[in-house]
Amino acid sequence: MQIDPTALPEVLILTPRRFGDARGWFMETYNATRMAEAGIDIAWVQDNQSFSAAKGTLRGLHYQRPPHAQDKLVRCSRGAILDVAVDFRAGSPRFGKWVGVELSAENGRQLLVPKGFLHGFVTLTDDTEVQYKCSDVYAPDCDGAVRWDDPQIGVDWGIAAPVLSDKDRNAPLLAEAPRPFTWEGGK
């Protein structure tokens, strides 16, 4: 597995190796031992999958606050997405900065989004499926969101009028959102 940093050092791109032959290909998407050897020692407790019928469907920017904060390992198993992580840790020198990575069934890449980061994606194709591992279970009382089009963050989604849920359409701006995460130095 190849592991590459992004402009936000805690957010990583993981690219599993594919082994192909005349039948197609095989890819190991997760191996706890290999991940731990690479310094990624996260206990995954929940797997999620979403389907979006229309290109331009945007889901985000979401987070889950402590005590049920989640690390996420995201991949696109059908179609393609622009996957986005935003530093949401109060006091971080990169607070409000974002990174976007194209994940697709074709490129096989995965994005590791740690606790303390907002997460969202927009579908780049119709009929898109996204799968992700979470380090904690979904807890509705800890669920939160920040507006997808917040000008303070300035994510370039590449779309002006996405398909949105009411939750995402009505989420607060970054300046109005609570600050459940604190930067603890380091990267």
73 and 90 Cβ atoms separated by less than 8 Å: no
Catalytic residue among 30, 62, 63, 119: 62
The burial class, CB within 10 Å (0-12 / 13-18 / 19+), for 4 is exposed
The reply to whether 68 belongs to the active site is no
3-state secondary structure of 40: coil
The burial class, CB within 10 Å (0-12 / 13-18 / 19+), for 111 is buried
Catalytic residue among 30, 63, 119, 132: 132
Residue showing tokens 């920017």: 61
CA distance 35 to 48: 20
The reply to whether 132 belongs to the active site is yes
Active site residue ranges: 62, 132
